[in-house]
A and B are shown apart, each in its own frame.
Chain A
Amino acid sequence: MSFLPFAIAAWLFLIGLYGIVSSQNLIRVILSLTVVQSATYVILLGVGYSRGGQAPIFADIPQVSKAVDPVVQVLVLTDVVIGATVTAMLLALAVQAHKRFGSLDPQELRALRD
């Protein structure tokens, strides 16, 4: 049971990859990429968790309480916000690709490139 978070992370990673490979619409590919990214968040937070630990905010708990690792939280926190803006750029690319080539299907777009 203590392996469950990592198993869920591996599950999210693999079905996200399946979503990218099997999609026929660029926007579906982009949303599946979001799922793959959240697999990394689950792994990072799972590594930093410590049983019985509190959040690393010492405003109202005494200084010597056991707390979870704050470093991985920093990594995930900035990653969430920046992942959203990178997704915005990918969506902008998809919109312009559709404007230029008339299709959002990755297969058709590849054929048009040749």
Chain B
Amino acid sequence: MTVLQIAALAAVALSGGGVILARDPLRQTLVLGVFGVALTMLFFVFQAPDVALSEIVISTVGLPVMVLLALRKVSQQERERNEEKQ
């Protein structure tokens, strides 16, 4: 196993732990972006360029956009609900 592979695996393990241990979903989304980049490096070092291509676009752009929009919608609904209660 080359040094690069060990480093990529360590980065994946650490950022994976970071995704789970982050407090609120907003912070989790940002760490998910880092996790995606670490996974991309891992796939690249495992000689899988096709997989790395799809992973980098999905996890840095595709997924965080949807999570952030869902979070925005939820916080808007929270605000409307609080306004209705008053």
* Among B6, B13, B19, B47: residue with most chain A CB under 10 A: B47
**Are the C-beta atoms of A2 and B70 separated by less than 8 Å?**
no
What are the residues of chain B within 8 A of A41 when measuring CB–CB?
A: 39, 43, 51
Min CB gap A79→B, angstroms: 9
| Distance between Cα atoms of A16 and B18 in the complex (Å) | 11
Instruction: Determine the main DSSP class of B at the interface with A.
Output: helix
A95–B74 contact, CB under 8 A? yes
Q: Could you tell me the distance between the alpha carbons of A34 and B63 in the complex, rounded to whole angstroms?
A: 10
Q: Are B67 and A91 in contact (CB under 8 A)?
A: yes
- A50 CB to closest chain B CB (Å) equals 9
Q: Which of B5, B48, B58 contacts A84 (CB 8 A)?
A: B58
Task: Indicate if A45 sits at the interface (CB-CB under 8 A).
Answer: yes
Q: Is the Cβ of A15 less than 8 Å from the Cβ of B47?
A: no
Q: Which of B5, B49, B67, B81 contacts A102 (CB 8 A)?
A: B81
Q: Are A27 and B70 in contact (CB under 8 A)?
A: yes
Determine whether the beta carbon of A84 is less than 8 Å from that of B62: yes
Contacts from A to B (Cβ < 8 Å) = 1-2, 4-5, 8, 11-12, 15-16, 18-19, 25, 27-28, 30-32, 34-35, 38, 41-42, 45-46, 49, 53-57, 67-68, 73, 76-77, 80-81, 84, 87-88, 91-92, 94-95, 98-99, 102, 104
A/B interface sample: 23 pairs, CB < 8 A:
A12-B12, A15-B17, A15-B20, A25-B24, A27-B25, A27-B28, A27-B67, A27-B74, A30-B67, A31-B28, A31-B32, A32-B19, A34-B19, A45-B42, A55-B48, A55-B49, A56-B47, A67-B47, A68-B47, A73-B51, A76-B51, A77-B54, A84-B59
